[in-house]
Amino acid sequence: MAALVPVLFALLAAFSNALATVLQRRAALTVPRSRGFRPSLVWDLLRRPIWLVGMAAVVVAGAGQAAALATGPLALVQPLFVLELPIALLLASLIARRGLPPAVWAAVAGVVCGLGLALVAAAPSGEDIHVSLARWMPVLAACVGTVLALAAAGLRRPVGMARAGCLGAATAVSYALTAALMKDAMYVLDTGGITGFLTAWQTYAFAAAGVAAVLLLEHAMQGGPLVASQPALTLGDAAVSLTLGVLLYREELRTGGWWVLPQVIGVSLVVGGVVVLARRGARTRPDG
């Protein structure tokens, strides 16, 4: 029962993020494609009401995610965001008033059941609720370096699979880092109040990482097909978040004995389902 509260908050956040993705992608497709890293892309999008509604959904998602991370382990909360992809595809289908074929419904079931199976078998549990700066420094350096390398590699390539995949992976690392920093900031808010929260470095670090993630996401959406960017984003976020949960917060997963088998089966179902759904999404424009 202790896991119910963070799971519910995470599901709310996943739904809001999925709605934001659908609306933001519709808006992104209405502006000219950018050949390089263009911060002015956000200015172009600010003039589109549908993008602003999408950003409102991002705010709701952020609040739900913060509540989930404040009450549950990172290794439990962030993998639930894998559900964003099937939810986003279902929402896009409703907006476009198009039905989904049986293969897509099967993929949705595979993602949901696989994720549930993997999380129940892994049983993520929290240990530390606060991370020292000394433990943060190498992780921050590694994450920032990885994001810069992936973004640079993607932006050097023309619009297509490689560009979208690299930018999607960079976005995934940024989102995972944002969540890890947000969890630490929630601890500061709980122990130091609003004054401590507003003066903590974690607050501004997760805000900066979140802004970078949003900007990278917009470029990933424009960078190539969804089948390249979405699996990198969805699976990458879950994988990096699990790693950060173990490294930073010393969270534990059940990795011994027969529990490994259902975890492998669950992850396989999730990966297969995400690939199928991304391919479907690549053929379905969210703007109908």
> pLDDT (tens digit, 9 = 90+) per residue, 216-239?
987 887 777 777 788 888 889 999
Answer yes or no: is 104 within a domain: yes
Answer yes or no: is 162 within a domain: yes
Q: Which two tokens stand for residue 152?
A: 């640079």
- pLDDT of 219 reads 82
- Average pLDDT of the chain, as a whole number: 85
Q: Smallest Cα–Cα separation from 156: which of 148, 210, 141, 230? A: 148
10, 186 Cβ separation under 8 angstroms: no
Amino acid letter, residue 4: L
**Looking at the predicted structure, is the pLDDT value of residue 79 above 70?**
yes
205, 181 Cβ separation under 8 angstroms: yes
- Ordered alpha helix ranges (H), 29-71: 40-46, 49-71
Answer yes or no: is 211 within a domain: yes
Answer yes or no: is 164 within a domain: yes
Q: Which residues contact 41 (CB under 8 A, 6 or more apart)?
A: 31, 34, 215, 218, 219, 222
Which residue, chain included where needed, has tokens 């433990």? 135
Answer yes or no: is 287 within a domain: no
- pLDDT of 94 reads 83
Mean per-residue pLDDT, 145-170: 91
| Better pLDDT: 283 or 263 | 263
Would you say the pTM of this structure is higher than 0.85?
no
Mean per-residue pLDDT, 188-196: 92
Q: Which two tokens stand for residue 104?
A: 């897509």
Q: Smallest Cα–Cα separation from 126: which of 243, 253, 7? A: 253
Instruction: State which residues form the domain around 124.
Output: 4-282
Domain count of the fold of the chain: 1
- pLDDT of 171 reads 94
Answer yes or no: is 288 within a domain: no
Mean per-residue pLDDT, 35-47: 58
Which of the four pLDDT bands, split at 50, 70 and 90, describes residue 285? very low
Q: Smallest Cα–Cα separation from 225: which of 283, 170, 149, 286? A: 283
- pLDDT of 34 reads 55
